[in-house]
């Protein structure tokens, strides 16, 4: 039975840190360069090690833990589902109530997408990890190109951007500009052409008779916490309308309040045709992602048998999703992100005025990047870990600051004091 007062330092097991590290070393793939910390518990903005030392989590699993770790309302909803026997995966041949309720909640959480195709609301296709929903979006853009634009199947082209990050499976790494993500993993998936991020003229040059869509992050997370120039997203919107292309925004990292708006695209007053959400959609407790679009487009692209996923939209994930979206609304996490982000960014900009290490500070809401002069962001992240702060680099050159959206004033003060110690 869940007991919110439980506070075991070793939490799950009494296995020592050294053993945990050696187990990973021996039995795990070495695909992450980890900081030297074994986390035993996570609560709110804080992570705890086996000695009871607490670390302020300023990464929040790359925006997945937006409401803070183990948010009590989400944990409660999930615990009820488990104890009430409505949590486990059910064969997709029958309906389940959590999925229906989740679909209604999330489809109406966003404005009408792709309004040029109708105003009958949005429809949602649920998956697990974010990359799966990115691929779902790609399927829809290609299908539209074939079915509606008459592009020969196999010739469809999608415009993507330099320094994009959309996940790690074969199709999306095929159009990554990071060599390390692709090298040796061929044959890669064709059908993608790359434009410079933020350069509308570059995008225009790539449009041809086979172009069916544009896939873009409205702010780039892994690409170095980049914010596109004013007018860029509107320019993409106009181009998509003129050329009959589908414009899809990947908001897996920047959606759901991270940048101080419910959706990142609201900063530019631009509405996409398709939207991909993940990470924070379940409050960081189970994998849950979605592809959402206008109901006409969804019905056009997907019919019985053309897509599916055993766990996509399974009850426990949906219960977490409903609770996480409710928490965003009830606890005004979007407003908190805007307010606390403004305060934090102003304090970091003040540090930057005299720091010999800071090249640029970028960000909106609690999505803030500190680009360092020598491109060695991870060196600073390791120093910050010693001070009790978890951050990592984005694209090697930028310290990524993305704490839970309900970070309080005291926690921000601690974060700023720590940054002062390493950057001044």
Ligand X SMILES: Cc1ncc(COP(=O)(O)O)c(C=O)c1O
The Cα–Cα gap between 103 and 94 comes to 15
Residues 6+ apart with CB under 8 A from 286: 78, 316, 317, 320
Cα–Cα nearest to 282, from 92, 137, 112, 87: 87
Catalytic residue among 105, 123, 232, 250: 250
Nearer to ligand X, 167 or 341 (CB): 167
CB nearer ligand X, residue 40 or residue 262: 262
Does the annotation mark 279 as catalytic? yes
Which CB atom, from 103 or from 275, has the smaller least distance to ligand X?
275
Run of H or E residues at 184: none
Nearest to ligand X of 295, 369 (CB atom): 369
- 8 A C-beta contact, residue 159 and residue 206: yes
Interface with ligand X (CB under 6 A), residue from 157, 222, 371, 411:
222
136 contacts: CB under 8 Å, gap ≥ 6: 125, 127, 276, 291, 307
- Say whether 275 sits in a helix, a strand or coil: strand
Q: Is 166 in the site for ligand X (CB under 6 A)?
A: yes
167 binds ligand X (CB under 6 A): yes
Nearer to ligand X, 217 or 273 (CB): 217
Asked if 157 interacts with ligand X (CB under 6 A), we say: no
Rounded to an integer, what is the distance from CA 323 to the centroid of its chain? 18
Q: Is there a catalytic annotation at residue 343?
A: no
Instruction: Provide, rounded to whole angstroms, the least separation between the CB of residue 222 and ligand X.
Output: 6
Residue facing ligand X at closest CB distance = 130
CB-CB contact of 315 with 88 (8 Å):
yes
66 in contact with ligand X (CB under 6 A): no
Helix (H) / strand (E) containing 274:
strand 274-277
Hey, what are 272's tokens?
């996409």
Binding ligand X by CB under 6 A: which of 99, 131, 203, 316?
131
421 noted as active-site residue: no
User: Which is the catalytic residue, given 165, 175, 232, 302?
Assistant: 165
Using CB under 6 A as the criterion, what x/- string covers residues 32-61 for binding ligand X? Answer: ------------------------------
Q: How far apart are alpha carbons 282 and 33 in whole angstroms?
A: 26
User: Which is it for strands 246-250 and 211-216: parallel, antiparallel or unpaired?
Assistant: parallel
Distance from C-alpha of 305 to C-alpha of 324, rounded to nearest angstrom? 30
Question: From the list 130, 145, 213, 272, which residue makes contact with ligand X (rule: CB under 6 A)?
Answer: 130
Judged by CB under 6 A, the residue of 250, 268, 273, 411 near ligand X is 250
Catalytic sites, residue numbers: 165, 250, 279
Applying CB under 6 A, the residues found at the interface with ligand X are 62, 129-131, 134, 165-167, 217, 221-222, 250, 252-253, 278
């Amino acid at each position: 039975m869940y007991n919110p007062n439980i506070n075991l330092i070793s939490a799950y097991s009494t296995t020592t840190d050294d053993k945990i590290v050696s187990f990973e070393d021996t039995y795990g793939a070495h695909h992450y360069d980890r900081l030297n910390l074994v986390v035993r518990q996570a609560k709110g903005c804080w992570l705890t090690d086996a000695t009871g030392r607490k670390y302020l989590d300023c990464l929040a699993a790359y925006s997945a833990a937006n409401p803070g770790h183990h948010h009590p309302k989400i944990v409660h909803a999930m615990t009820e589902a488990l104890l009430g026997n409505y949590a486990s995966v059910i064969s997709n041949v029958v309906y389940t109530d959590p999925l229906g309720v989740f679909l209604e909640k999330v489809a109406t959480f966003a404005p009408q997408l792709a309004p040029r195709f109708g105003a009958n609301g949005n429809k949602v296709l649920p998956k697990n990890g974010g990359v799966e929903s990115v691929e779902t979006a790609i399927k829809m853009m290609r299908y539209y190109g074939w079915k509606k634009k008459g592009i020969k199947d196999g010739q469809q082209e999608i415009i993507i951007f330099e320094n994009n990050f959309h996940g790690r499976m074969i199709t999306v790494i095929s159009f990554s500009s990071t060599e390390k993500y692709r090298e040796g993993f061929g044959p890669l998936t064709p059908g993608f052409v790359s434009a410079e991020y933020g350069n509308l003229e570059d995008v225009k040059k790539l449009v041809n008779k086979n172009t069916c869509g544009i896939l873009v992050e409205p702010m780039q997370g892994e690409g170095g916490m980049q914010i596109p120039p004013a007018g860029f997203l509107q320019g993409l919107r106009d181009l998509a309308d003129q050329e009959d292309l589908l414009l899809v925004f990947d908001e897996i990292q920047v959606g759901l309040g991270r940048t101080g708006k419910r959706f990142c695209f609201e900063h530019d007053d631009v509405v996409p045709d398709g939207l991909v959400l993940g990470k924070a959609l379940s409050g960081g407790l189970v994998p849950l992602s979605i592809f959402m679009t206008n109901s006409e487009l969804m019905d056009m692209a997907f019919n019985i048998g053309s897509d599916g996923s055993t766990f996509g939209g399974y009850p426990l994930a949906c219960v977490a999703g409903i609770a996480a979206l409710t928490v965003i609304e009830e606890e005004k996490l979007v407003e908190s992100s805007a307010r606390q982000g403004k305060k934090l960014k102003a304090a970091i900009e003040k540090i930057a005025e005299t720091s010999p290490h800071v090249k640029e500070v970028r960000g909106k809401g609690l999505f803030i990047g500190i680009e360092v002069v020598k491109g060695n962001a991870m060196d600073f992240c390791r120093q910050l870990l010693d001070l009790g702060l978890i951050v990592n680099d984005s694209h090697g050159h930028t310290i990524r600051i993305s704490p839970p959206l309900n970070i309080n004033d005291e926690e921000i003060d601690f974060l700023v004091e720590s940054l002062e110690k390493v950057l001044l």
